[in-house]
Amino acid sequence: MRGALRDVFDVRRGEIRICVHASIVFFLIIAGHTVLETVRDTLLLAQLPLSRLNLMYVSVAGLTFLVNAVASGIARRLGHRRTLVGLLVFAACASSVLRFLPSCEYVACTVYLVSGLLVTVLASQFWLHSAQLLTREQGGRLFSLIATGGTAGGILGAELASHVLRCRPVMSLLPLAAACFLLGALALCAVQSEDAPASPSQPRDNAASGQSYVARVVGLVLLSTAALLIVDYLFKSTIAARIPASRLGPFFAHFYAAMNVISLGVQLVGAPLVLRRFGVVGAACIMPALLVIGGGASLLGGGSWVFVLGLKAVDAGLRFSLNRVTIELMYLWVPDNVRARARGVVECVVSRVVQAGTGGLLYYLAVRTLATPGVLALLVIAVSLAWALLVLSLRRPHRDLGEPPRVNRSRLDSSSSGLAGERSFP
């Protein structure tokens, strides 16, 4: 196993145990989220009219702004690891409480809000903690392997949900999600570690390039958030029109399982090869390019559900594999002392404002009966094309910020003695 890890992912001495423990934690986080996501989508489409989906987008955006601000403040005082543990315990408690509520319209809205809030905050704190455990050079090699744990967790969560739904109602999945979140918290608590201190800021001569780089990353998150939200709405509106409410639960469970299998394949085979061949910026261009192609196929196909499923497959297969890894690698080029603040602005403000604005636009189109598959496909094409062009514009500022530093071998060797040291995970 160690030989395979070294050959495929370039895992070096002292890094295997860190990667394994990080992958286990991410595995449990995404498994719990996938189970909760199945409950969320099933209840929402079965209990509420489709127009409410846009209002949920706006509500999640507003509440995430507040929750992320609180989580960031706590992380500055306690560190990202302790904050992540607390969030996982809260997620387990919230999922358990929701199980005892009756299945109704208000509970469907609550499950959707809780799920939308948790996935953003948990992922953000996990990657911020992981970034403090690894150098840029290590992150470039190891983030893809760590993200594989999340993809595998998505597969397991979807499969478990599918089996439970064969004999139990959808609300029975909530204790399963709570168990995954609680196990993730226990895995983080199993080994003590301290958050690494911030590294020195960038040299003055790179300040202008750094500002330009961060501004472009903000724009990238803005456009990608809008594009993926439109794809999600197009997908769910198509499914709601074609599949009876009684079959929504099994459909989502099987669909998410299949998409996570694709994502795992991309993570294990495609992502390392693409990153080595095309670099971070080139790899980040792949998803928007495929969305442009998928949007064009959906438009020319008259909104055929086959093309819409293909469009969603690009989203589900690449969002948490290749796309997430490239975004996290881009953050590694931001100095440690401003990374958390930059991410806070991007994920608390920019992405949420864009989510709310896009949700408002979709709601307006739905009210005006303009949210047709053709119009939505045109929006996907336009926003994804702008996304791809902005990614290409990152080439120069990414190069100006310099290559990541080499691994500090003495520090890496000291971490190989066990997980109790400063660089250990969790």
Looking at 1.20.1250.20, 3.40.190.10, 1.20.1070.10, 3.40.50.180, the CATH number of the domain 2-193+206-403 comes to 1.20.1250.20
Say whether pLDDT at 1 is over 60. Answer: no
Reported as a single tens digit per residue, the pLDDT across 171-218 is 888 999 999 999 999 998 876 554 444 444 444 444 445 567 777 888
What is the residue-averaged pLDDT of the chain? Answer: 76
Q: How many beta carbons lie within 10 A of that of residue 69, not counting itself?
A: 13
Q: Where residue 356 falls among pLDDT bands split at 50, 70, 90? A: confident
Domain definitions of the chain by residue range: 2-193+206-403
Residue 339: predicted pLDDT: 64
Residue 291: predicted pLDDT: 93
Share of the chain above pLDDT 90, in %: 13
Q: Where residue 121 falls among pLDDT bands split at 50, 70, 90? A: confident
- For range 86-91, the mean pLDDT: 92
Reported as a single tens digit per residue, the pLDDT across 381-414 is 999 999 999 988 887 766 655 544 333 333 333 3
Residue 112: predicted pLDDT: 85
DSSP letters, 386-418, are HHHHHHHTTHHHHHHT-PPPPP-HHHHHHHTT-
Residue 293: predicted pLDDT: 93
- For range 267-271, the mean pLDDT: 72
Share of the chain above pLDDT 70, in %: 77
Q: Which residues of 186-220 are buried (b: 16+ CB within 10 A; e: fewer)?
A: ebbeeeebebbeeeeebeeebeebbebbbebbebb
Residue 165: predicted pLDDT: 83
Nearest Cα to 33, choosing from 151, 177, 172? 177
Residue 325: predicted pLDDT: 76
pTM: 0.62
